[in-house]
Structure 1
Amino acid sequence: MWQAEYTSWPFRKLNYFRAGKQILEDFIASNPNNIEARYVRLLCQLNAPGFLNYNNIEEDRAFINANISTANLSEDYKKIMLFNIKKHTDN
C-alpha cells in the first residue's frame, strides 16, 4: 500500500493500494488477534484518502487499546504505537 505514495500515476496508485489492502486484509482474516497487523491497518486507514472508504478505524483502535497491555511486544514499541494512535486520532 505504501508503494502507492511513490508513484505519480493515479491508476497505478490505486492498483498498488488495492493490492496491498487485499494482502493486509487476508492476513488479518487469518490472524485476527495480531496486534501489529491491526496497527499497520490502522495507520494505513488514518493516512488513506477518504474517498477510498477504508475505514475500520474504531474497531482497530479499540482492539489495540484492549490488547496492548498483554501483547508480546517491547514496552518501547507499545509506547510508540499508543503515541502514534493518539497523535493521529486527536485531530
Structure 2
Amino acid sequence: MSLKVGVFIVIEGIDGAGKTLHSKNLCLQLHRKGYLARYTAEPSGNVIGRLLRREFLNRRKAPPEVETLLLLQIVSNISDRR
C-alpha cells in the first residue's frame, strides 16, 4: 500500500474579504478535477475558539492544555464534515 502526500492550503484575510467563498470554490474545483479536498475553518466563534484566540494573543507559546484543546477542536471539525 502506498501513501499519498497531501497538501494543506490556508487562505487568510480580513473579515469580509471572501475567504469562505474562495475556499469553498477552490474545494469544489479540486473535487471536479478528481482530487480529494476538504474544507475546514479555524475555531473562532465558539467557546473553545474564543479561549484559544485569547491564549494565543496573550502569549508567545501556548501552554500544553491550550494546544491540546486546539488539536481536539481541529479533529472535531474534521470529523463533523465527514
Same fold (TM over 0.5): no
- Higher Cα Rg: structure 1 or 2? 2
Q: TM-score normalized by structure 1? A: 0.30
TM, length-normalised to structure 2: 0.32
